[in-house]
Amino acid sequence: KNEVEQSPQNLTAQEGEFITINCSYSVGISALHWLQQHPGGGIVSLFMLSSGKKKHGRLIATINIQEKHSSLHITASHPRDSAVYICAVLNFGNEKLTFGTGTRLTIIP
């Protein structure tokens, strides 16, 4: 069992739909990272959070430390949101990230 599990692995939705991507982890962490990787390959940091909720534009990330779970939400989804979304956790005591396998999101116009 991976330390970091994401669901779903693949998600296709119509433009405008509300999107939720989930991340569960099994170890104690100091923070959780949401990353976005576009088809061109570049990796962009979306959020780094250790508690509660963060919002940036149409993106919202939440984390529940007790339940070891985080969600990434996209409101009013758009085709340009099509990408792979990767959850990564920062383990206590060091700077190493442990990555989930990613969720491939496709938004259809």
What are the CA-CA distances from residue 64 to residues 7, 61, 89, 93 (Å)?
Answer: 16, 10, 13, 20
Q: Does 45 bind another protein (CB under 8 A)?
A: yes
Told to check if 87 binds another protein by CB under 8 A, we report no
Contacts of 41 (CB under 8 A, 6+ apart): none
Where does this chain touch another protein (CB under 8 A) — which range of 13-21, 55-63, 64-72, 95-103? Answer: 95-103
Total of chain residues touching another protein, rule CB under 8 A: 23
Stretch that binds another protein, among 11-19, 34-42, 58-66, 75-83 (CB under 8 A): 34-42
Q: What are phi and psi of 80, to 5 degrees?
A: -70, -10
